[in-house]
Structure 1
Amino acid sequence: MDCCGLDRRRFLGGVVGLAAGGLAFGKKRRIRLAFCSQTLCILPYVMAEKRGMFADQGLSVELIYTRGGGAALQALVGGAVDYAATSLDAQLQAFKNGAPIQRFAASGRLPLFALAVAPKARDRIRSLADLAGQTVGISALGNADHALLLYLLARAGVDATRIRFATLGPNLFEALRVGHVDAGMVQEPALSLLLERGGGVLVNFMDLEETRRYLGGSYAFMGVAVRGDEADDRLDEMRRLAGALQAALEFIHTASGKLIVATLPSELIAGGDRKQLEAIVERYRQSIYPRSTRLDLEAAARVVEAQQLAGLLPENLPWRELFLPKVLEGAAG
């Protein structure tokens, strides 16, 4: 689980051509943008297309839905797309491995995880300290959810060596529901479904105030990367892209959950509960999405610290070189 990519499998790997709209800047520039396909990750990008915000910036954008952030970044490095929107976790790993990419805009400020408790374990696990001696589910050792969990435990002073980690892949819901694990890192809608069945939640990282309380501030997540050697030539285009995304973020902050979900392509809702998705969007939109696309290096430093704690990044990695804040210097918002 390098970034997102949970559920909606019918839509993964598909290509949706997006564009149309006015010619605010004359002939629209055609660009291709790949990103992982978890619904909460993609909202700013889909809103920017469906509400005409890309077109208002003179851009014709083709969104490429991929199976996770790693695939999106591979497409970027390989030259198949112009930009890739993924979690910072995925971009840091690519950067560590020599990928010539730079992150220039943000679209999400919280990880899309919560530390949930199984219904059968709710009476005995009421705090992080109660996890000692218990079995906690994660997608895989070294994945984003594992690194975040280790960071949380370290900040809370809980000895992670006293916890048994079970690697269960991206879908932990059933294992938690039936009690095969005592707690686990889940996303939505798994969290809502577990709570409906009597489960609990120790920390919800999709809530900004909880994340600030447990981690000390926001934790950089979704953002857009470009090939570093093209950044100077694409500077104007990158600013337009960021401007469209910022307009989409403002729309997400002010529109109702019902209107936001109604804007989504039907393929993203097929097989899902529309009312539940509306409630999820309504609950989290103010927390998950920033009002500005400008980079937050303080929030990024928390992700770096978490990955270093998990042994995923070396201490001497010049990680700040991944970021390109000059693109949005002086931008409003």
Structure 2
Amino acid sequence: MLNRRSFVSASAAAAASIAVPALYAQPKLEKTKVAISVGGKAAFYYLPLTISEQLGYFKAEGLDVEISDFAGGARALQALVGGSADVCSGAYEHTINLQAKNQFLQSIVLQGRAPQIAMGVSTKNMASYSTLADLKGKKIGVSAPGSSTNMVANLVLSRANIKPADVSYVGVGVAAGALTALRSGQIDAISNTDPVMTMLEQKGDVKIISDTRTLKGTQEVFGGPMPAACLYTSADFMQKNPNTCQALANAIVHGLKWLQTAGPGDIIKTVPETYLLGDRALYLASFDKIREAIAIDGVMPAAGPKTALTALASFDNTIKADKIELGRTYTNDFASRAKERFKA
């Protein structure tokens, strides 16, 4: 019969034997220091990345991430292709664009299920605007040429048979510089993300002509679900660092789970003060507008990649839809495991 002391030590030994497999269930990371590039981190488009960073979810997975912020998604992509970043937090459609140039990148976890990009015309420079045809020959502000804000503008203009060469695109970033460019009359129209677009809209600086900040608006513009921000990397990095990719997906899905129940006050407390652009109320109004556009569980929707391919091929003749292997542009393996772990 067990006395109290031997029962306690036997219980401790049993607990230890249960704990040991759990301890080793966390696989060893091939790479703990990971460089992530992003184009315009202060935009709501990348809010899951900021949340996961600020709340220590990357650290909890054993990762030491260094996030480099660029003026737009196209420059963040260049950092990945050039080798100064391991992973890019950017628009999913870049994986399709690059495959058309014979470079293979794959999304490993989805951050946004709608592009959150609105396009508006300046109420000052284009007071008499009536149709898309009025934009021919005009200056249009985008986060950076070649970025997803540029892609959405191209798609919208293509409906009026306006080619990219028929307008001038101006890189204005996704923060205070974008507000200044529009308000000072340097540009005639703008394609950008929130909080910039809500701030311009609420002050009467722009008239919105296309909006993908909601799932309904995205369906109207793209005709289906349009995947947006994701973490993507090279096929080579993914093959060499599967456990590291899993840890990255875990951190993002953990952030997405937190965002599902976070209130406005929680967001304000978590993001850096500079993200608010000096106006808390407008920042929160912007968050309300885009909330449903944030991914829920990091998993790519089945119809999403096809929607993106159709959109890109509609205005970019270098992309041949029948030559793109969509299965090589994303994987749900990591996100599905993270979803199960966090019950997202």
TM-score (norm 2): 0.73
Contact 1:114 1:187 in 2 (8 A): yes
Q: 1:259 aligns with which of 266, 269, 275?
A: 266
Change (3 A) 1:148 1:79: closer
Q: 1:248 aligns with which of 248, 255, 258?
A: 255
Matched, 1:65 2:71: no
Q: Any idea what the Cα deviations from partners look like across 1:143-183, whole Å, max 9, x if unmatched?
A: 533432343355xx533369952323225645644667654
What's the CA shift for 1:233?
4.3
Show the counterpart of 1:165.
167
Show the counterpart of 1:132.
133
* Distance of 1:78 and 1:164 partners within structure 2: 30
Matched, 1:203 2:205: no
Show the counterpart of 1:106.
110
Show the counterpart of 2:192.
186
* Distance of 2:33 and 2:121 partners within structure 1: 43
Report the secondary structure of 2:236's partner residue. Answer: helix
* Distance of 1:161 and 1:46 partners within structure 2: 35
* Distance of 1:120 and 1:291 partners within structure 2: 38
Q: 1:286 aligns with which of 287, 292, 300?
A: 292
What's the CA shift for 1:265?
3.3
Show the counterpart of 2:17.
none
Contact 1:133 1:162 in 2 (8 A): no
Matched, 1:301 2:306: yes
Change (3 A) 1:42 1:77: same
Seq. identity, %: 20
Q: Any idea what the Cα deviations from partners look like across 1:170-203, whole Å, max 9, x if unmatched?
A: 2564564466765432333432332213532122
* Distance of 1:97 and 1:162 partners within structure 2: 19
Contact 2:121 2:189 in 1 (8 A): yes
Q: Please list, as runs of the form range in 1=range in 2, the aligned pairs for 1:1-333 lying within 5 A after superposition.
A: 29=29, 30-36=32-38, 37-39=40-42, 40-56=44-60, 58-67=61-70, 68-120=72-124, 124-125=128-129, 130-134=131-135, 135=138, 137-139=140-142, 143-153=147-157, 158-160=160-162, 165-170=167-172, 173-174=179-180, 176-177=182-183, 183-195=189-201, 196-197=203-204, 199-266=206-273, 268-269=274-275, 272-287=278-293, 289-311=294-316, 313-315=318-320, 316-320=322-326, 321-329=328-336, 331-332=339-340, 333=344
Change (3 A) 1:132 1:239: same
Q: Any idea what the Cα deviations from partners look like across 1:75-121, whole Å, max 9, x if unmatched?
A: 44455444222112333333433434322211112224212132247
What's the CA shift for 1:34?
0.9
Larger helix fraction of residues: 2
Change (3 A) 1:325 1:201: same
Structure 2 gap ranges (5+): 1-22
Contact 2:115 2:218 in 1 (8 A): no
What's the CA shift for 1:317?
3.6
Amino acid at match of 1:234: N
Moved more, 61-70 or 107-116: 61-70
Change (3 A) 1:49 1:209: same
Aligned length: 303
Contact 1:117 1:184 in 2 (8 A): yes
* Distance of 1:292 and 1:46 partners within structure 2: 16
* Distance of 1:168 and 1:75 partners within structure 2: 21
Structure 1 gap ranges (5+): 1-22
Say which one has the larger Rg: 2
* Distance of 2:269 and 2:318 partners within structure 1: 40
Contact 1:177 1:197 in 2 (8 A): no
Q: Any idea what the Cα deviations from partners look like across 1:125-159, whole Å, max 9, x if unmatched?
A: 46xxx2223446243775533432343355xx533
Report the secondary structure of 1:272's partner residue. Answer: coil
TM-score (norm 1): 0.75
Amino acid at match of 2:308: V
Amino acid at match of 2:270: T
Show the counterpart of 2:10.
none
Q: Any idea what the Cα deviations from partners look like across 1:48-76, whole Å, max 9, x if unmatched?
A: 233233344x3223132231334444444
* Distance of 2:161 and 2:24 partners within structure 1: 56
* Distance of 2:181 and 2:240 partners within structure 1: 49
Change (3 A) 1:64 1:89: same
* Distance of 1:122 and 1:168 partners within structure 2: 17
